Amino acid sequence: MVIRLTEAAVNKLRNMKMKDGHIPRMDANISGGCGMAVSFKFFIDEKRRNDHVFQYNGIQIAMDRLTLRYLNKDAQVDYNEKSGFIVGEGFSSGACAIESNNVSQEGSLDGEHTIH
């Protein structure tokens, strides 16, 4: 699995003030019955016992097994002022975001980094 962070997402995460023990996390939200829909939210929370933690240059992102199961092999996290953090499959081609979850309201789109 590869998770890409745009430069805007990296800059925002580096500049955010977080409580001790809190790190960014990505969670899958599953809804619907027969027509199951999966969306993702990105927020700051405590690391949980069974989380998988991906790291890039001092930035950690936690996610549980359910999220890993539904996340594509190549996902991207972006940040912009209007939408906050956005989890998607890539934004350079103009693809739509899966879901956004505002954590704060600053940033700009520029470049990308990869977390393995």
| Contact of 51 with 39, CB cutoff 8 Å | no
User: Rounded CA gap, 6 and 47, in Å?
Assistant: 23
CA atoms within 13 A on the CB side of 44: 16
Those residues whose C-beta lies under 8 Å from the C-beta of residue 81, and which sit 6 or more positions away, are 105, 106, 107, 108
State the CATH number of the domain containing residue 81: 2.60.300.12
pLDDT value for 112 = 38
Mean pLDDT score, 78-105: 59
For 34, 47, 116, the CA distances from 30, given in Å and listed in that order, are 12, 21, 25
Number of domains in the chain: 1
pLDDT value for 94 = 36
Assessment of whether the complete model's pTM goes beyond 0.75: no
pLDDT tens for residues 27-82? 888 887 777 788 888 889 999 999 999 887 778 899 999 888 888 777 888 999 99
Q: Please determine, for residue 106, whether its predicted confidence score (pLDDT) is greater than 70.
A: no
pLDDT value for 90 = 52
Structural domain harbouring 63: 2-30+39-115
| Contact of 113 with 79, CB cutoff 8 Å | no
Those residues whose C-beta lies under 8 Å from the C-beta of residue 116, and which sit 6 or more positions away, are 1, 2, 54
pLDDT tens for residues 12-28? 999 988 899 899 998 88
Comparing C-alpha atoms, which of 114, 116, 77 is closest to residue 99? Answer: 77
